[in-house]
A and B are shown apart, each in its own frame.
Chain A
Amino acid sequence: MGALKLCFVVQRPPYKSENARLALTHSISSQTAEIHLDDGDTIVPTLIFVGDGVLNAVKNQQAMKHYGVTSTENHIKNGLLIDMPVWICKEDMQRLGLTEAQVITDAEEMGAELKMKFASFDEIQKEMEACPHLLFF
């Protein structure tokens, strides 16, 4: 009986490839992993955006309008709704000229209590070190 921490580290931008979307869908699927596990065992995910991956968190995405697919914004908000920690690298945001006002900070309109964590690379490094397995997308 126990919990396994998994870090899903997203370093690719959205829409250009399937990687970021797969990171989101795989991390959210941690909610149902228990059906394959022994009683009491659980997967505890942290979703982290670094590098160009921080672009996944830009607000007001119009993916349905332009591509006919759900947005990564919607997936990130679903992640917050299920209380999955979602972190974004402050330094990489700065590198791309992104401010906190331009990215997803919460999913209050969906009823989520958890908020996006704006984390330094040092904090992210510590979180990654605490995870036995890292999944890079």
Chain B
Amino acid sequence: MNLGPIDIDFLLQILPLLLKGAVLTVELTLLAIFFGTVIGLFVALAKISRFKILVTIGGIYTWAIRGIPLLVQLYILYYGLPQIGIELSAPAAAVVGLSVCGGAYIAEIIRAGIQSIDKGQMEAALSLGMSYAQAFRRVILPQAYRRLLPPMGNEFITLMKDSSLVSVICMTELLRQGKLLSNSTFRPMEIYLTVAAIYLFLTTIFIYLIGRLEKRLAISDGD
């Protein structure tokens, strides 16, 4: 069966393999979101802390990671580090690369979110006798969550798309699976269109989930 130049039967034949790649893409993305968010939270707190040294380290981290292409970072992690005796497996290098990169952007999102909360909120919390930590946990972060969600959603989608870059370090995720198939079958049109459709499908699910979360938080915020 054909649809214009696209052979549907062939497409159905390759789909299972591509979906296998897609599973790896989702796994990589979820790991990167998790570790990236953890890194991002700590770096954000470092950057707004009272300690100069933490502020500096956080600043250098976000500056360097955001200023170097992820592709170059991945090359350094996977091909560069073995030269000085640090060998990362491809999956490890992929997760580290994506998390560290995502963490830098997420740190900036969280920092901006926290700093957007009115200073009076911290003062009110402190005036009740709360410690900084208590004020953060009980007053600042709950308000920051909601403002963080839209930019965080963007970042998660970016991470999912950027995960395609790890195909250059031999991770057979969605894009590399497509490339391998294309090399062996010489049908790039069907294959890459399908790859694109799968990415679009995945990001759409993400956008939907984040949208629902936003709505729920809006309700619990009472306005």
Q: Do A and B bind each other?
A: no
Q: Which residues of A contact B (CB under 8 A)?
A: none
